[in-house]
Amino acid sequence: MTWAVINEKTRLPICEYDSVIDYAETARATIPNEPQEGGFFYSYDKTHAPKEISVNISFSGDFEQQQKALNDIEALRVGLTLCTLVTPVGSTSNMALVGYSVVRGATAGANSMTVALEFQEVVSSSISSRGETWTPKNPTSANVEEGGSVRVSKLSEISGIGA
């Protein structure tokens, strides 16, 4: 198996590039902390962040072919199409192109171009609801609290006002 950056909609490479130069994958998780009384913190529920993958691809050849590739890359960045990143050890699906940077230089040839692609995993989850429903009590079956009688305050007893 080889290295590839595949458009999930067309099942073809995202553009015509020469090679994948390098690949870096980052996976993180966070643990939220909430302040509590007495200066303590409460930590709970480890939350996994989406994977982030960066891929550097190289181009040689004419500038028209490179510009077409950059147009294809820009269309992926502003669009909703997802990509699959294929490596010799496996593949990662549901990756959205969230950014890229372009470097042109004469290191590998007069017309060489390198593009650093930044992908972020799109995590989708389904939320299911339980079939429980809440029904309020019948308004006429409410508990009797005061029974409608007026309470006389101590102030009115002493002053004689309102008695």
Tell me what pLDDT residue 154 has. Answer: 60
Instruction: Give the predicted TM-score (pTM) of the model.
Output: 0.69
38 falls within a domain: no
Mean pLDDT for the chain? 83
- Residues 129-157: pLDDT tens digits? 666 665 555 555 556 665 556 665 565 56
User: What pLDDT band is residue 43 in, cutting at 50, 70 and 90?
Assistant: confident
Tell me what pLDDT residue 44 has. Answer: 78
Statement: residue 83 has pLDDT above 90: yes
Domain that residue 100 falls in: 4-29+46-121
156 falls within a domain: no
162 falls within a domain: no
Say which CATH number the domain at 67 has: 2.40.30
The owner of tokens 């290191």 is 107
Counting the structural domains of the chain, the total is 1
User: What pLDDT band is residue 7 in, cutting at 50, 70 and 90?
Assistant: very high
Statement: residue 119 has pLDDT above 80: yes
